[in-house]
Structure 1
Amino acid sequence: MIPQELMKKIRRIQIRTSHLADDMLSGQYHSAFKGRGIEFEEVRPYQVGDDVRSIDWNVTARYGDPFVKLFREERELTVLLLVDLSASQGLGTHYQTKRELVTDLAATLAFSAIKNNDKVGLQLFTDGIEKAVPARKGSRHVLRLIRELLYCEPIGRGTDITKALQHLNNTVKRRSVVFLISDFQDTGYEQTLRLAKQRHDVIPIVVGDERELTIPNVGLVQLQDGETGETIFLDTSSPLHRRLYQERAKLAAESRDQMFKKLGMDPIQLSTGEDFVDPLRKFFHQREARR
């Protein structure tokens, strides 16, 4: 049985993210992602302003007046949220952790999907597959996804993106829109990501925290890697140590982004404490423009 406090939290997330999907993102989401195809619906009399290329010449010849063909998009898509729940998602130096940001983001994407009559599923992963929820429609289903995002206590602590993508490739045969949401603190997954991109429309969403890129002068501190448990002492009063810390983080981010570029992918970059709606809007707008 779900604790009452958790139910209240699910409800708060539902209200907040459903509102975002309704008022801000739903139309842009619809425009950004193609349906499965276009099918003929009906013909109607030509009206001023109609595209002459849509005229049905057979019907026009039969009735002696111009008629045009109308088509509709076969809309239904399958959307999959691949969400990283590794220990590093617990970092948050603002009012939210990376995991909290991911939960709001995933819920918003899920509500945007169902409001466009698409199916949505969820795969939670660490260095193993923690949970897989098949894609379905409906608000009740999205509430279940939010519950899993909040309630899941992962067994693993590390990040294995290769394993997550292999599970995707092995279990999902129909082409889907896949949002891969992670801080991408992993290596060696390029080939598997390339294969996943050939089968699906994969969109990486990089979730970070500013403290992963810079560190303030607070003297001698003890830092622990949440995924490996490795502990180091860092003298943040040293400009050299702070610069080396920043350069290491910058190189890792540049290497990751170069890989995305090589694979022809456009990642969405998000950070804790910042609004994720504008980056999503920008991404959807760019997708629509390319269509």
Structure 2
Amino acid sequence: MSKSEKENPTSGYVTLHELHGMQFEASGFSFLPKYKVQSLLAGRHKSAMRGRGLDFKEVRQYVAGDDIRNIDWKVTARTQKTHTKVFSEERERPVLLVVDQSSSMFFGTQSYLKSTVSAHLAALGAWRTVDVGDRVGAFVFNDTKFENIRPQRSSTAILSMLKTIEVYNNQLNAQQPPQSKTLILESVFQKVRSTVNHDYLIVIISDLRGISDKTIHHIFNLKRHNDVMVFHIEDDWEKELPLRAISLSNSDRQVSIENSMKKVREKHQKAFANEKEMLTDQFAEYGIPVLTFNTNERLADQLRDLLKDH
């Protein structure tokens, strides 16, 4: 366990010092191997080019428009058909983190709050991206506003980004009732669409509460020219009500709820599972992987388990 997580893993708020320290946890994962979405957060991706590049890729039959300087004369002579060399060029892949710090994230019954999980994942992703030499930016949002941080690759810029996440995180207040974030999600992704052009990796870090068809439409349009992946954050109690009485309070009133009723529990489980399955299936149709993170285990360990660096 890292020093930052030992200090106060159940604290309701993150600190810049904590997020800075996660720089030393950002290793052992590449965001590539288990998923067919190309170049996920590995920082680099290969693209076939007709012409000279950094690395030789393959030899294939010549087609009109290929650069004649790349004709492989030995293969051409042997096969009696014109063949050309194809090279691969290493290109930059900027990463954009969409970081949810809304009121629905200020919840957790295990080791961490969902808002803390979101902040930790953003920090790990940012440090990993810079470590491989690429730029990383972010959209950080709460229930009512968002901030756009343009992609950069310096450690100073990363610390500025993490400071913004800390500020948004520390503005969360348990005394205020949760708000619907449907409108802010729509606004954020509409802005992302107008900001991002192509060849980005967009990582959505959220519990996806309040997501609408309009937001999903924005995400699908982003996927047309970019890689997109979803880090879905959930807590055990959201999936399955505990088999005991629980007390809920808003500081003014307290109510006790008995959750041992089998029908109530089963209905809740089914509703949560159906909603998640529907979203996952929708994203899968567009080649968008959904990775689930919990509020119990260390985030660096979860990342290494899901996205091992082979």
Task: State TM-score, norm by structure 1.
Answer: 0.74
Q: Is 1:74 matched up with 2:78?
A: no
By how many angstroms is 1:267 displaced? 1.0
Q: Secondary structure at the match of 2:208?
A: coil
Structure 1 pair 118/236, CA: closer, same or farther in 2 (3 Å)? same
Q: Is 1:120 matched up with 2:136?
A: yes
Q: Distance in 2 between matches of 1:128 and 1:248?
A: 27
The number of residues matched between the two structures is 257
Q: Distance in 2 between matches of 1:101 and 1:42?
A: 38
Letter in 2 for 1:94: Q
Equivalent residues of 2:53, 2:87 under 8 A apart: yes
Q: Is 1:130 matched up with 2:146?
A: yes
By how many angstroms is 1:173 displaced? 2.4
Residue number in structure 1 paired with 2:66: none
Structure 1 pair 223/26, CA: closer, same or farther in 2 (3 Å)? same
Q: Secondary structure at the match of 1:259?
A: helix
Q: Distance in 2 between matches of 1:51 and 1:83?
A: 37
Residue number in structure 1 paired with 2:180: 158
Residue number in structure 2 paired with 1:280: 303
Specify every segment of 5 or more residues in structure 2 that has no aligned partner in the other structure, as ranges: 1-13, 33-39, 61-69, 74-84
Give the alignment partner of residue 19 of structure 2, picking from 13, 27, 31: 13
By how many angstroms is 1:244 displaced? 1.5
Give the alignment partner of residue 286 of structure 2, picking from 248, 251, 263: 263
Q: Is 1:247 matched up with 2:257?
A: no
Specify every segment of 5 or more residues in structure 1 that has no aligned partner in the other structure, as ranges: 1-7, 44-49, 59-68, 225-230
Q: Secondary structure at the match of 1:80?
A: strand
By how many angstroms is 1:260 displaced? 1.4
Matched ranges for 1:1-291 at <5 A: 9-15=15-21, 17-21=22-26, 23-25=27-29, 31=42, 33-34=44-45, 40=52, 73-152=89-168, 153=171, 157-160=179-182, 161-186=185-210, 187-188=212-213, 189-219=215-245, 221-222=247-248, 234-281=257-304, 284=307
Q: Secondary structure at the match of 1:274?
A: coil
Structure 1 pair 240/197, CA: closer, same or farther in 2 (3 Å)? same
Structure 1 pair 199/285, CA: closer, same or farther in 2 (3 Å)? same
Letter in 2 for 1:177: L
Higher helix share: 1
* 1:190-211 deviation per Cα after TM superposition (whole angstroms, max 9, x unaligned): 2222111113211111011111
Structure 1 pair 283/83, CA: closer, same or farther in 2 (3 Å)? same
Which moves more between the two structures, 236-245 or 175-184?
A: 236-245
Percent identity, please. Answer: 20
Equivalent residues of 2:57, 2:88 under 8 A apart: no
* 1:130-166 deviation per Cα after TM superposition (whole angstroms, max 9, x unaligned): 2111111111111111111111237994323332211
